[in-house]
Structure 1
Amino acid sequence: MLETVVIVIHLLMALGLVVLVLLQHGKGADAGASFGSGASGTVFGSQGSATFLSRFTGVLAAIFFITSLGLAYFAKEKSDMLRHVGLPDPAVMEQKQEKAPAASDVPASQAQKPAGNGDVPVAPEQK
């Protein structure tokens, strides 16, 4: 239940960060404001929107990082639970299994043997 809540918050913060980053002006956009682009007529004033959006983006980013750490913790706990249910460790399983015989150790029937020298065309040598 708690993991689902953290996932939902994480996704909302990710979407919010994308939207806020796209809403903000680049550093080169300030040059247009000095020539009367109307930046002083915004809701937050000429500088208010930049500081408000920057601070809000920082808060969303901090929450995003915290939820990322929470999701990493949940993943670790889930892997520990799976380890304790009695499933063998893959590395140990690999050592316990006997080595499979190589293809050269298995006798091949006449139909499976590779073609002889007369059946396979030979590529001409390049000089």
Structure 2
Amino acid sequence: MSLILNIVQVVQLLAALGMIGLILVQHGKGADMGAAFGSGSSGSLFGASGGANFMSRTTGVLAAVFFVCTLALAYFGNLRPVSSGSVLEGAVVAPAPVAEVPASGAAQIPTK
């Protein structure tokens, strides 16, 4: 079970880092206006609008992977062993300490 949790954590970390990188590389909606007039299409790797579709779809896939990993970690983190009875049945009851009282009722001072 520990191996599965480690793999899910690594996948979640890689998905998070990939999303961060893709979100920082993407242009805002205002950048599309400049590309429509010809200023941005020459410097783009995928053309005027191809990069936005590719990057936004990849970001969506990475976000889905991130959420699935988060739900899997939450589920596996809350699993508890199945017990057949009550929690109190497994409790160990320690006997209460009994204070010794002298028969005469007077407190005795210990001697060295």
Is the TM-score greater than 0.5? yes
Stretches of structure 1 that go unaligned for 5 or more consecutive residues are 90-127
Greater share of residues in helix: 1
Matched residue count: 83
1:115 paired residue number: none
Partners in 2 of 1:51 and 1:65 — Cα distance? 21
Structure 2 length-normalised TM: 0.65
Q: CA deviation at 1:4?
A: 0.1
Q: Secondary structure at the match of 2:78?
A: helix
Distance in 2 separating the partners of 1:47 and 1:40: 12
Give TM-score, length-normalised by structure 1.
0.58
Distance between the aligned counterparts of 1:31 and 1:54, measured in 2?
A: 17
The RMSD of aligned alpha carbons is 2.0
Q: Structure 1 counterpart of 2:72, which letter?
A: G
Identity %: 53
What's the secondary structure of 1:45's corresponding residue? coil
The one-letter code matched in structure 2 to 1:73 is: Y
Q: Which amino acid aligns with 2:23?
A: V
* Structure 2 runs not aligned, ≥5 long: 89-112
